[in-house]
Protein backbone atom coordinates (compact mmCIF):
# COMPACT_ATOMS: atom_id res chain seq x y z
CA UNK A 1 0.00 0.00 0.00
CA UNK A 2 0.95 3.65 0.46
CA UNK A 3 3.06 2.92 3.55
CA UNK A 4 5.09 0.31 1.69
CA UNK A 5 5.78 2.70 -1.18
CA UNK A 6 6.93 5.45 1.22
CA UNK A 7 9.26 3.04 3.01
CA UNK A 8 10.68 1.88 -0.31
CA UNK A 9 11.34 5.46 -1.42
CA UNK A 10 12.91 6.48 1.91
CA UNK A 11 15.19 3.45 2.22
CA UNK A 12 18.18 4.98 0.35
CA UNK A 13 18.18 8.00 2.71
CA UNK A 14 18.14 6.00 5.97
CA UNK A 15 20.88 3.48 5.46
CA UNK A 16 21.62 1.60 8.66
CA UNK A 17 24.68 -0.57 8.76
CA UNK A 18 24.96 -3.45 11.14
CA UNK A 19 27.91 -3.33 13.53
CA UNK A 20 30.87 -5.25 12.20
CA UNK A 21 32.69 -7.89 14.13
CA UNK A 22 35.49 -5.49 15.04
CA UNK A 23 33.30 -2.54 16.16
CA UNK A 24 32.69 -3.95 19.63
CA UNK A 25 36.41 -4.27 20.16
CA UNK A 26 37.22 -0.78 18.87
CA UNK A 27 34.68 1.10 20.93
CA UNK A 28 36.13 0.31 24.39
CA UNK A 29 39.61 1.11 23.11
CA UNK A 30 38.44 4.42 21.65
CA UNK A 31 36.58 5.29 24.86
CA UNK A 32 39.63 4.45 26.93
CA UNK A 33 41.94 6.58 24.79
CA UNK A 34 39.50 9.50 24.91
CA UNK A 35 39.32 9.20 28.70
CA UNK A 36 43.10 9.16 28.99
CA UNK A 37 43.39 12.23 26.76
CA UNK A 38 40.82 14.04 28.87
CA UNK A 39 42.69 13.18 32.07
CA UNK A 40 45.99 14.32 30.60
CA UNK A 41 44.46 17.71 29.77
CA UNK A 42 43.25 18.36 33.32
CA UNK A 43 45.43 20.89 35.18
CA UNK A 44 45.47 18.69 38.30
CA UNK A 45 47.55 16.16 36.37
CA UNK A 46 50.40 18.69 36.11
CA UNK A 47 52.58 19.01 39.23
CA UNK A 48 53.82 22.44 38.16
CA UNK A 49 50.27 23.70 37.82
CA UNK A 50 49.35 22.27 41.23
CA UNK A 51 52.18 24.32 42.75
CA UNK A 52 50.84 27.41 41.00
CA UNK A 53 47.30 26.62 42.17
CA UNK A 54 48.33 26.21 45.82
CA UNK A 55 50.33 29.44 45.61
CA UNK A 56 47.24 31.24 44.29
CA UNK A 57 45.06 29.94 47.13
CA UNK A 58 47.68 31.02 49.68
CA UNK A 59 48.11 34.44 48.09
CA UNK A 60 44.41 35.24 47.99
CA UNK A 61 43.83 33.89 51.47
CA UNK A 62 45.20 37.20 52.73
CA UNK A 63 44.79 39.34 49.61
CA UNK A 64 41.47 40.96 50.54
CA UNK A 65 41.88 40.90 54.32
CA UNK A 66 43.59 44.32 54.63
CA UNK A 67 41.04 45.91 52.30
CA UNK A 68 38.18 44.36 54.27
CA UNK A 69 39.52 45.32 57.69
CA UNK A 70 41.24 48.63 56.87
CA UNK A 71 38.41 50.91 58.00
CA UNK A 72 37.91 49.00 61.24
CA UNK A 73 41.64 49.09 61.96
CA UNK A 74 41.87 52.82 61.25
CA UNK A 75 38.97 53.74 63.52
CA UNK A 76 39.71 51.34 66.39
CA UNK A 77 43.52 51.29 66.49
CA UNK A 78 44.54 54.67 65.07
CA UNK A 79 41.54 56.56 66.48
CA UNK A 80 41.00 58.53 63.27
CA UNK A 81 37.83 59.76 61.66
CA UNK A 82 35.97 57.52 59.17
CA UNK A 83 36.74 59.96 56.36
CA UNK A 84 40.45 59.23 56.85
CA UNK A 85 39.76 55.55 56.22
CA UNK A 86 37.72 56.50 53.16
CA UNK A 87 40.60 58.57 51.82
CA UNK A 88 42.94 55.62 52.40
CA UNK A 89 40.68 53.45 50.24
CA UNK A 90 40.72 56.10 47.51
CA UNK A 91 44.51 56.39 47.59
CA UNK A 92 44.85 52.61 47.50
CA UNK A 93 42.59 52.36 44.45
CA UNK A 94 44.43 55.10 42.58
CA UNK A 95 47.80 53.50 43.29
CA UNK A 96 46.52 50.10 42.10
CA UNK A 97 45.19 51.71 38.92
CA UNK A 98 48.52 53.43 38.29
CA UNK A 99 50.47 50.19 38.68
CA UNK A 100 48.13 48.33 36.34
CA UNK A 101 48.28 51.10 33.75
CA UNK A 102 52.08 50.88 33.71
CA UNK A 103 52.35 47.08 33.64
CA UNK A 104 53.48 46.99 30.01
CA UNK A 105 56.44 49.24 30.74
CA UNK A 106 57.19 47.48 34.03
CA UNK A 107 57.25 43.97 32.58
CA UNK A 108 59.48 45.11 29.73
CA UNK A 109 62.01 46.86 31.94
CA UNK A 110 61.98 44.41 34.85
CA UNK A 111 62.58 41.21 32.91
CA UNK A 112 59.11 39.78 32.33
CA UNK A 113 55.70 39.25 33.87
CA UNK A 114 56.79 36.50 36.26
CA UNK A 115 59.43 38.67 37.88
CA UNK A 116 57.02 41.59 38.30
CA UNK A 117 54.37 39.26 39.73
CA UNK A 118 56.83 37.78 42.23
CA UNK A 119 58.01 41.19 43.41
CA UNK A 120 54.42 42.43 43.71
CA UNK A 121 53.32 39.35 45.65
CA UNK A 122 56.31 39.55 47.99
CA UNK A 123 55.81 43.28 48.53
CA UNK A 124 52.13 42.74 49.14
CA UNK A 125 52.87 40.29 51.95
CA UNK A 126 55.41 42.62 53.51
CA UNK A 127 52.99 45.55 53.46
CA UNK A 128 50.23 43.50 55.09
CA UNK A 129 52.62 42.64 57.94
CA UNK A 130 53.56 46.33 58.29
CA UNK A 131 49.98 47.61 58.48
CA UNK A 132 49.72 47.33 62.30
CA UNK A 133 52.80 49.58 62.55
CA UNK A 134 50.88 52.58 61.21
CA UNK A 135 50.41 55.16 63.96
CA UNK A 136 48.47 58.07 62.44
CA UNK A 137 46.52 59.18 59.40
CA UNK A 138 49.55 60.10 57.29
CA UNK A 139 51.34 56.83 57.91
CA UNK A 140 48.14 55.06 56.89
CA UNK A 141 48.00 57.06 53.65
CA UNK A 142 51.62 56.28 52.85
CA UNK A 143 50.94 52.60 53.52
CA UNK A 144 47.93 52.76 51.19
CA UNK A 145 50.07 54.12 48.35
CA UNK A 146 52.70 51.38 48.60
CA UNK A 147 50.15 48.64 49.20
CA UNK A 148 48.09 49.79 46.23
CA UNK A 149 51.16 49.62 43.98
CA UNK A 150 51.73 46.01 44.99
CA UNK A 151 48.07 45.02 44.61
CA UNK A 152 47.72 46.04 40.98
CA UNK A 153 49.92 43.51 39.14
CA UNK A 154 48.87 40.38 41.04
CA UNK A 155 45.53 39.70 39.36
CA UNK A 156 46.32 41.47 36.08
CA UNK A 157 49.31 39.24 35.27
CA UNK A 158 47.76 35.84 36.01
CA UNK A 159 46.69 35.08 32.43
CA UNK A 160 50.05 36.24 31.05
CA UNK A 161 51.99 33.99 33.42
CA UNK A 162 49.73 31.02 32.72
CA UNK A 163 50.36 31.47 28.99
CA UNK A 164 54.12 31.63 29.54
CA UNK A 165 54.25 28.59 31.81
CA UNK A 166 51.68 26.25 30.26
CA UNK A 167 50.92 27.56 26.77
CA UNK A 168 48.11 29.56 25.27
CA UNK A 169 46.22 26.48 24.03
CA UNK A 170 45.58 25.44 27.66
CA UNK A 171 44.89 28.96 28.91
CA UNK A 172 41.05 28.78 29.13
CA UNK A 173 41.07 25.64 31.29
CA UNK A 174 44.07 26.69 33.37
CA UNK A 175 42.67 30.16 33.91
CA UNK A 176 39.34 28.73 35.00
CA UNK A 177 40.95 26.50 37.62
CA UNK A 178 43.12 29.42 38.69
CA UNK A 179 40.00 31.52 39.25
CA UNK A 180 38.67 28.70 41.40
CA UNK A 181 41.77 29.08 43.59
CA UNK A 182 41.19 32.83 43.75
CA UNK A 183 37.60 32.26 44.83
CA UNK A 184 38.49 29.73 47.52
CA UNK A 185 41.22 31.92 49.00
CA UNK A 186 39.09 35.06 48.89
CA UNK A 187 36.09 33.28 50.43
CA UNK A 188 37.93 31.63 53.31
CA UNK A 189 40.65 34.19 54.03
CA UNK A 190 38.95 37.37 55.31
CA UNK A 191 36.56 35.61 57.75
CA UNK A 192 39.35 33.40 59.11
CA UNK A 193 41.70 36.35 59.57
CA UNK A 194 38.91 38.38 61.16
CA UNK A 195 38.37 35.62 63.75
CA UNK A 196 42.11 35.47 64.37
CA UNK A 197 42.30 39.24 64.87
CA UNK A 198 39.48 39.12 67.40
CA UNK A 199 41.30 36.40 69.31
CA UNK A 200 44.92 37.60 69.12
CA UNK A 201 44.98 41.17 67.77
CA UNK A 202 45.80 42.92 64.51
CA UNK A 203 49.53 42.21 64.52
CA UNK A 204 49.21 38.44 64.60
CA UNK A 205 46.22 38.43 62.26
CA UNK A 206 47.89 40.50 59.56
CA UNK A 207 51.11 38.53 59.94
CA UNK A 208 49.19 35.37 59.03
CA UNK A 209 47.51 37.17 56.14
Output the pLDDT for position 116. Answer: 92
Q: What is the mean pLDDT of residues 23-33?
A: 50
User: How high is the mean pLDDT of the chain?
Assistant: 81
Pick from 52, 88, 63, 89: which is nearest to 155 by CA?
63
CA torsion sign for 141, 143, 147, 149 is: positive
Helices 137-156 and 158-166: angle between axes, nearest 10 degrees? 40
pLDDT tens by residue, 71-111: 989 998 898 888 998 999 999 999 999 999 999 898 889 88
Q: How far apart are CA 175 and CA 43, in angstroms?
A: 10
Which percentage of the chain shows pLDDT scores above 90?
Answer: 36
Distance of CA 63 to the CA centre of its chain: 11
Amino acid sequence: GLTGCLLLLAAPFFRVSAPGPTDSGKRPAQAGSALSRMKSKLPCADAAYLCWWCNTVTCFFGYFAPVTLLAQFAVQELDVEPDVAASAYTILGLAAFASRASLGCLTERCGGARRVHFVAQFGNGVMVILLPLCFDAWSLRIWSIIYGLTVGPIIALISVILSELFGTERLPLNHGFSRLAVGIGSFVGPPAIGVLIEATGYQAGFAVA
